[in-house]
A and B are shown apart, each in its own frame.
Chain A
Amino acid sequence: MMEQGLWHERQGASPNLADILERVLDKGLIIAGDIKINLLDIELLTIKLRLLVASVDKAKAMGIDWWEHDPALSHPRPRQLAAENARLRKQVKALETGTLKVRR
């Protein structure tokens, strides 16, 4: 519970838009996924994508770039690549330190 007044209100200014957007867009309860919470049957993700397309420069300028880290929005392919990359790096390291025998 917030028993105190808001500090920014006390100081007579409303909170910074970047701070608000950071919270209301990116944080807060996530209910997409197992239950499909739609914006009238348009998934929330669609809004995210549209926002990304429409105002990526503005949003990025505000430091809002969560879509780049949102697993729901990244293609499975890059993730596979990242996983494969990690596996290969591990193998290279193992080869370099001589702890891995080359099979075949």
Chain B
Amino acid sequence: MSAASYTYAVARPFDPTRAAGLVGVDGAAIHLVRHQDLVAVVSPLAPADADETALRARLETLAELEAIARTHHRVVAAVAACTPTLPFRLATVHRSDDRVAQLLRREYRRFRETLDRLAGSVEVGVKIYVQHADASAGAMSVAERPRGSGSARVGRDYLRYRREQRDRRQHAWRRATAAAEQMDAVLAGLAIDRRQHRTQSAELFAAPGENVFNAAYLVDAGHAEELAARARRLGAENPHVTIEVTGPWPPYSFTGSEHGERT
């Protein structure tokens, strides 16, 4: 079986020496497939991985998925650092470079329009977390534990304790959500566009609390630092929430046009 072509992004042509040494999935070198004033950033998939079941199996293993996802992102980010770039979704694989060229021909106008729209822009990720005052909650501390005799009393105290705990959490959540809305309004005012993402659960990652807000802002590359600084400042001014800023990212969240994104 001949090697397949893994496609990372379409971009404006750029000096290929800037991508020299850039390594794609499975350590394969990156090359460019060109059509008029567009290039696709491609690397060959080893014949072993061009086998559909093999690649599928790899994408189902979290460690492998992580490696491929990080490689995909690294290539996209490297290209985006030197030219306007539209990232593809993970695991966009064509049978050959000819098929990639076909795609460029067929979607030429759409790619051009989207590139025009996003040229010079980056995405900044902002996540807002709420800190629960009793993060270690769950069990009562020895000092709080009711000392009264009789199990009825203990039970009542326990229920009261749990109720207060729940109310505190709800209160903190509402306060944080309100703060997030205010911050979002400020940040959206600085951005060209925004997308709200689903909040992330922090189970697998060390996060500074519970995620109540997760959004991406599209900004002119020159203003990314400003928006990030503003977000951090807003976070620092509010004692009830923690802000996490990521990026600048290539404009992953803004590649679909709002009017008629094709799925």
Contact = CB atoms under 8 A, between A and B. Distances in A.
B69 A21 contact: yes
Contacts of A24: 69, 72-73, 76, 87, 89-90, 252
Interface residues of B, number: 69
Interface string B68-80: 0110110011001
19 contacts: A1-B81, A1-B82, A1-B83, A2-B77, A7-B246, A17-B66, A17-B69, A19-B246, A23-B73, A24-B252, A25-B89, A25-B90, A29-B86, A29-B92, A32-B263, A37-B92, A37-B103, A55-B60, A60-B201
Given A54-B60, A72-B263, A65 B80 contact: no
Interface stretch (A8-16, A78-86, A87-95, A96-104): A8-16
A58 B64 CA distance: 14
Interface of A: 1-4, 6-8, 14-35, 37-42, 44, 46-47, 50-51, 54-55, 58, 60-63, 65-66, 70-72
* Binding site secondary structure of chain B: mixed
Contact of A51 (B59, B83, B107): B59
B4 A40 contact: yes
Contacts of A58: 62, 204
B228 interface: yes
A-B CB proximity, top 7 nearest:
A63-B200, A54-B60, A23-B252, A27-B252, A28-B89, A24-B90, A61-B203
Given A1-B81, A31-B103, A63-B214, 15 more contacts: A1-B82, A14-B70, A17-B66, A17-B205, A23-B252, A27-B87, A29-B10, A30-B262, A31-B89, A33-B262, A38-B93, A39-B52, A46-B56, A47-B91, A61-B201
